[in-house]
Chain A
């Protein structure tokens, strides 16, 4: 809780109005940031002397339940002080463009490629944004909810009973 207050105070002071929400979810302080300032916020968090989130634990894509927005989730870590926070940013699914963070964290390279591969998020400024796990010829972004895992036209399976 203390970390949440400190980080949100710093962010609100530096980026007024850009932090859409701040909450403690289980053991993680979680911040939702406007997509236009996500790169600046990450840069600030990395370069701030006290917070110094120097380690990008993981980066992944999500889709909101209404299927209209995509999001990118960053998990940041300050190892010496053991601070961990989560940052989220959401944007329109028809215009999935956000700036890359490969200039701040080299490890974001493949993570962003994976996010592009599965969700179709275009990271502006990424040095080599192409598919990584799927075949290059694939023309869909398979982790989006519009592509269900099983063929929906199948008639040999009745799943009404158990809400699948």
Chain B
């Protein structure tokens, strides 16, 4: 058929007609499906997301500014409130940063105790993330069953330090005291019972056809893009990069333990889920190894400038009283210098960049918060996918509002 001029004009008009009208949808700030305070202004084409504009900062609490006025020991509670799903890791990361600055040697026994605490926290963090992925796909059962184990972990924390969520666990230099018998009983009970619980959870979801249909190829990201966007932790490993701070820059005696780093291939929701799932098994094995190899020795380094002396000595001994006073009033001398220390947090490389001018407070403290850094990829990851998949992508990235906004 010969194409007439009129038809050409018509096809131009067709393009005009095809210009769509998008609807705007406000997802958040407080929406039950986002599990935290995030706002995303979505430009929707029906059920498909055309563009997402995230707004963050709803629970910004100026931690970096606050830290410039607080003595070193008082900064620990700030770190609790970043990734509150695994606050012990944040605490330990902060202690290790200060210990690096003052050049403290931590006894092996305290280091092994730290490893146990950090791996328990990692399990708690991954339990939350993975069970919530289940909830967002509509599988409530797994969540209800596995969450009791998170409760058991919190009971262990409570026995050690008195707090459950914002733990403030340990001290600069080690731990305040030996763990009591009840703590070890709780840990033993956890190690005995949790494998069955985790197995049950994986039976419910891992090879579940409905779950796999829902999560495979949902919100994928390639390894190159993930690196470009600064992904670390399980989300980067799901994309196929075997980067783990525990192996790359071992801290707190992680080099003494044998464990594998699970790696995914597609970087989609299913891979992120599976990487976390396998990491929980690895964490369990690390805890068991740490208990088995537990060395004898003191629970804290010899750091009278940072480590509160026992109460009876404070009352009966002048030096102890002076140290107690100096620590509580934040009058301890620290060296001038700057350090960067990173630990493998629940979501990736949690870094502390600390500049000290020798004063009672840090001159500058910057937190490398993994969530803040990788959440910027979200708007690209959800482009062109369904709204329900976007919810799933967010929960599988495990974006924690406290860490995002600092």
* A interface residues (Cβ-Cβ under 8 A, vs B): 25-26, 28, 30, 54-58, 60, 62-63, 65, 73, 75, 79, 82, 84, 86, 105-107, 109-111, 114, 118, 132-135, 142-143, 149-150, 162-164
Contact = CB atoms under 8 A, between A and B. Distances in A.
A7 B290 CA distance: 38
A107 B249 contact: no
Contacts, number: 90
B248 interface: yes
Given A79-B243, A133-B406, A57 B351 contact: yes
A133 B56 contact: yes
Contacts of A28: 339-340
B310 to A, nearest CB: 24
Given A86-B340, A162-B329, A162-B330, A54 B373 contact: no
A46 to B, nearest CB: 11
Contacts of B288: none
- Place the interface of chain B in its size category: 35 or more
Contacts of A25: 337-339
Contacts of B248: 79, 82
B82 to A, nearest CB: 13
A106 B377 CA distance: 9
A133 B37 CA distance: 13
B228 A106 contact: yes
Interface of B: 56-57, 60, 62, 64-66, 68-69, 100-101, 225, 227-230, 241, 243, 248-249, 329-331, 337-340, 342, 349, 351, 353, 355, 357, 360, 363-364, 366, 368, 372-373, 375-376, 405-406
12 contacts: A26-B100, A55-B230, A75-B340, A75-B368, A82-B248, A82-B249, A107-B376, A118-B64, A133-B57, A135-B57, A149-B66, A162-B360
Contacts of B340: 28, 75, 84, 86
Given A62-B355, A62-B364, A57 B60 contact: no
Contacts of A132: 56-57
B191 to A, nearest CB: 32
A55 B373 contact: no
Contacts of B366: 58, 60, 73
Q: Which 10 A-B pairs have the closest CB atoms?
A: A107-B230, A133-B57, A58-B368, A60-B366, A133-B60, A110-B376, A106-B228, A149-B69, A26-B339, A107-B229
A75 B353 contact: yes
B381 to A, nearest CB: 13
Given A58-B366, A162-B331, 6 more contacts: A25-B339, A58-B368, A63-B364, A73-B366, A79-B241, A105-B228
B282 to A, nearest CB: 20
A65 to B, nearest CB: 7
Nearest to A30: B338
B100 A107 contact: no
Nearest to A26: B339
From B100, B101, B330, B364, name the one whose CB has the most chain A CB atoms within 10 angstroms. Answer: B364
Nearest to B342: A57
A121 B9 CA distance: 51
A55 B373 CA distance: 12
B60 A149 contact: no
A134 B60 contact: yes
A62 B342 CA distance: 19
Contact of B373 (A65, A110, A135, A142): A110
A60 to B, nearest CB: 4
Given A150-B69, A163-B360, A75 B230 contact: no
Contacts of B329: 162
Nearest to B380: A106
Nearest to A144: B65
Contacts of B57: 132-135
Nearest to B372: A110
Contacts of B60: 133-134
B336 to A, nearest CB: 10
Given A79-B241, A82-B249, A107-B376, A55 B65 contact: no
